[in-house]
């Protein structure tokens, strides 16, 4: 036992003496490992990141290692990059039927939430000025918490669009509101404060839109003229976002978040720009930055700070969840065409993210800086002016102390709202029919007879299917069978970006074109993951000579579906010869070996079903011997009737 404690003490001593490089390396590794662990155990990654960051912060204080200015400068830039990445993904066409609800979510709902959160903050003891600031900061939700939940939840397109737009657009709105409150507090009461607030708001909007639109137009023209080489696209957009963020803040304080949001929306909606590779680069960077930010910012909180605000924070949290969000959604979406089910889900979906954490920390420091500045000015002044400045300094010092309590309170709100909404929204969404936490649906690209038969078998077992083909006539059999179909080119912008994939977990590309199948699988891998996309085996894989010049590169193909894998032509030939799709229950008495012996070596195993979950069989699968229902392409044998076959 003493050896363990001695080893642990040695590790802590070593950590306590690390420099900036070692600290950043530790944070990067922990950020990635934490998010991987969260994916493994199906928990919101932010919970693990905050826990790890809090623990690391008790050993290594980030401000001691990096310095306060470097720390908050890095936080500002990282938050801007995260918002820019989120804004790039916003498409105006997604909200053509949701224009009014999105507008209301980003205006009426925000104002109602601000008023109610301010009242809740007053109730738990904050001064009015600080309560207004807390209300402004906590109207945000944010892409850093919404995106991971949507990735695992995969809700309907409408709900996903509403949540994404609200999360990304309201983030800068919350920051701007916080700036206006802070400006009003510094200006004092009366008409001077109102005039200063109006001036600040106008300047923020003009600066943000001016920089964003000019920079966005310039980047668009450079891209269309191919003035930027492909290998520089990702870093060019990153540099533009960082430059816009910092430059905008330099011109008008805290206008940078609004600037990068407008810039991202502008660029993301230019019809002639193809930014998929830029978006992929930004998404990878965003995942890393989110992990780093939550670990670093959580490390600034001490156990004593959390203990001091624990009771009021829990009361405040209960008001946020039970009163603020439901009331603000009900009033904000009153009179819109949002369904009652969608309103219920939106009312139970308001986790707070990194922008709330970062802005809270920044404004807590701003109050302290303002108090110090007023005190310094008082020393240089004389008479009544000195007394006024001294009184202002004392008032700001008092507010700075209360604002310091915002930081642990907001972190408690972040942890608890992520836990409550992240862990609870899945079941609610499933009950409302708006999403699935374990999506089992299968997208078939093609409308062949065997595809229709397989989809019908799966539907009878409760597995959702979607058949997609560009040829309306090819889907006639599927429509007659009562299956869900979509007439679209699987490689179109609509299919890749707009098609509703609620409940879908896998894609099987089985057209008569190997290249279409491979391209579709690669595109949908961004949504479903590489493990969830398949294609029928390529025709050239039958070439026994394995000529590398004729073989497609491995990364350009998806997994070959079914066991054994067959090409499109081979599947068509087998069906033409009389083979049919059948569903059979495998038991101890009639197991997989008996099944294969009965139907012969031509049999193609397609899916296994167990307890409402489907497994797509592929070239690397090892299907269970019994205890599952197998869907397979078989040649019917008349002499023996296996049990539980349909």
- The span from the CA of 563 to the CA of 127, in Å, is 68
Ordered structural domains, the chain, with CATH: 16-431 (1.20.1530.20), 441-634 (3.40.50.720)
- The span from the CA of 460 to the CA of 453, in Å, is 11
Residue 574, phi-psi category: left (phi > 0), alpha (psi -120 to 50), beta (remainder): alpha
- The span from the CA of 172 to the CA of 254, in Å, is 9
Is residue 251 within 8 Å of residue 200, measured between CB atoms?
no
- The span from the CA of 283 to the CA of 220, in Å, is 20
Residues 6 or more apart in contact with residue 182 via CB below 8 angstroms: 133, 363, 366, 367
> Is the pLDDT higher at 155 or at 533?
533
Asked if pLDDT for residue 146 goes beyond 60, the answer is yes
pLDDT grade, residue 418 (50/70/90)? confident
- Res 191: pLDDT: 56
Strand, coil or helix: 494: helix
pLDDT in tens, 361-398: 777 777 777 777 777 777 777 777 777 777 777 777 77
Asked if pLDDT for residue 640 goes beyond 50, the answer is no
Residues 288-307 have a mean pLDDT of 86
Is residue 580 within 8 Å of residue 637, measured between CB atoms?
no
> Is the pLDDT higher at 487 or at 153?
487
Which of 3-17, 56-70, 161-175, 577-591 is the most confident on average? Answer: 577-591
End-to-end CA distance of the chain: 63
Give me 593's structure tokens: 């070996």
* CA dihedral sign, ordered 88, 92, 93, 94: positive
pLDDT grade, residue 639 (50/70/90)? very low
User: Phi/psi at 501 (nearest 5 deg)?
Assistant: -110, 20
- The span from the CA of 638 to the CA of 80, in Å, is 68
Asked if pLDDT for residue 209 goes beyond 70, the answer is yes
Strand, coil or helix: 98: coil
Residues 456-478 have a mean pLDDT of 90
- The span from the CA of 142 to the CA of 162, in Å, is 12
441-467 CB burial, b ≥16 within 10 A, e <16: bbbbbbbbebbbbbbbbbbeeebbbbb
- Res 323: pLDDT: 94
- The span from the CA of 543 to the CA of 204, in Å, is 64
Residues 302-316 have a mean pLDDT of 88
pLDDT in tens, 526-582: 888 888 899 999 886 555 445 555 566 666 678 889 999 999 999 999 999 989 999
Compute the chain's Rg from CA coordinates.
Answer: 29
Instruction: Return the residue matching tokens 């003490």.
Output: 9
User: Phi/psi at 441 (nearest 5 deg)?
Assistant: -60, 155
Which residues on neighbouring strands pair with residue 490, listed in sequence order? Answer: none
> From the centroid of its chain, how far is CA 308?
32
Residues 429-444 have a mean pLDDT of 80
- Res 552: pLDDT: 62
Give me 395's structure tokens: 């008032």
Lowest mean pLDDT among 207-211, 299-303, 373-377, 593-597: 373-377
Residues 6 or more apart in contact with residue 574 via CB below 8 angstroms: 566, 602, 604, 633
- The span from the CA of 469 to the CA of 460, in Å, is 22
pLDDT in tens, 602-627: 899 999 999 888 999 998 888 898 99
Average pLDDT, the chain: 84
Asked if pLDDT for residue 646 goes beyond 60, the answer is no
- Res 458: pLDDT: 93
Strand, coil or helix: 287: helix
HSE (side-chain half, CA atoms, 13 Å) at 161: 22
């Amino acid at each position: 036992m003493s050896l363990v404690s001695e080893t642990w003490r040695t590790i802590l001593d070593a950590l306590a003496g690390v420099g900036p490089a070692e600290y950043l390396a530790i944070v990067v590794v922990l950020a990635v490992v934490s998010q991987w662990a969260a994916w493994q155990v199906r928990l919101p990654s932010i919970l693990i990141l905050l826990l790890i960051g809090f623990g690391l912060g008790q050993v290594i204080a980030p401000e001691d290692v990096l310095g306060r200015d470097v720390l908050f400068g890095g936080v500002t830039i990282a938050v801007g990059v995260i918002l820019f990445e989120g804004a790039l993904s916003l498409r105006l066409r997604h909200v053509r039927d949701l224009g009014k609800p999105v507008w209301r979510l980003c205006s009426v709902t925000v104002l109602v939430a601000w008023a109610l959160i301010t009242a809740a903050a007053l109730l738990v003891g904050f001064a009015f000025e600080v309560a207004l600031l807390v209300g402004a900061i906590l109207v945000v939700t944010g892409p850093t918490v919404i995106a991971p939940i949507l990735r695992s939840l995969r809700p309907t397109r409408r709900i996903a669009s509403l949540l994404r737009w609200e999360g990304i657009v309201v983030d800068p709105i919350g920051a701007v509101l916080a700036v206006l409150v802070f400006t009003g507090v510094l200006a004092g009461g009366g008409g001077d404060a109102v005039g200063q607030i109006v001036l600040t708001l106008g300047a923020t909007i003009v600066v943000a839109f001016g920089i964003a639109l000019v920079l966005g137009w310039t980047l668009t023209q450079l891209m269309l003229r191919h003035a930027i080489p492909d290998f520089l696209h990702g870093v060019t957009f990153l540099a533009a976002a960082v430059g816009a963020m910092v430059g905008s803040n330099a011109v008008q304080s805290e206008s940078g978040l609004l600037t990068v949001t407008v810039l991202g929306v502008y660029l993301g909606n230019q019809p002639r720009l193809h930014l998929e590779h830029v978006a992929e680069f930004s998404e990878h960077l965003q995942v890393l930055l989110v992990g780093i930010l939550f670990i670093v910012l959580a490390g600034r909180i001490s156990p004593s700070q959390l203990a001091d605000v624990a009771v009021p924070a829990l009361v405040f949290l209960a008001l946020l969840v039970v009163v603020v969000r439901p009331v603000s959604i009900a009033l904000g979406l009153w009179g819109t065409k949002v369904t009652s089910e969608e309103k219920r889900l939106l009312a139970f979906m308001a986790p707070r993210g990194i922008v709330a954490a970062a802005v809270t920390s920044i404004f807590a420091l701003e109050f302290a800086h303002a108090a110090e500045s007023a005190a310094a000015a008082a020393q240089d002044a004389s008479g009544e002016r000195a007394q006024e400045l001294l009184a202002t300094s004392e008032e700001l010092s008092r507010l700075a102390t209360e604002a310091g309590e915002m930081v642990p309170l907001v972190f408690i709100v972040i942890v608890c709202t992520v836990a409550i909404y992240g862990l609870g929204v899945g079941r609610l969404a499933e009950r409302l029919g708006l999403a699935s936490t374990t999506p089992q649906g299968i997208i078939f690209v093609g409308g062949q007879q065997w595809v229709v038969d397989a989809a019908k078998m799966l539907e009878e077992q409760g597995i959702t299917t979607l058949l997609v083909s560009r040829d309306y006539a090819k889907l006639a059999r599927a429509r007659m069978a009562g299956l869900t179909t979509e007439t679209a080119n699987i490689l179109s912008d609509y299919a890749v970006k707009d098609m509703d994939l609620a409940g879908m977990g896998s894609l099987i590309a089985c057209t008569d074109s190997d290249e279409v199948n491979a391209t579709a699988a690669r595109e949908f891998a961004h949504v479903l993951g590489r493990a969830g996309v398949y294609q029928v085996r390529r025709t050239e894989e039958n070439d026994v000579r394995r000529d590398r010049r004729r073989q497609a590169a491995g990364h350009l193909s998806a997994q070959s579906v079914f066991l054994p894998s067959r090409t499109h032509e081979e599947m068509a030939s087998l069906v033409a010869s009389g083979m049919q799709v059948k569903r059979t229950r495998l038991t101890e008495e009639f197991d997989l070996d008996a099944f294969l012996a009965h139907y012969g070596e031509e049999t193609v195993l397609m899916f296994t079903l167990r307890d409402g979950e489907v497994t797509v069989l592929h070239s690397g699968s090892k299907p269970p011997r019994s205890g599952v229902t197998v869907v397979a392409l078989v040649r019917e044998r008349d002499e023996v009737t296996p049990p539980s076959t349909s």
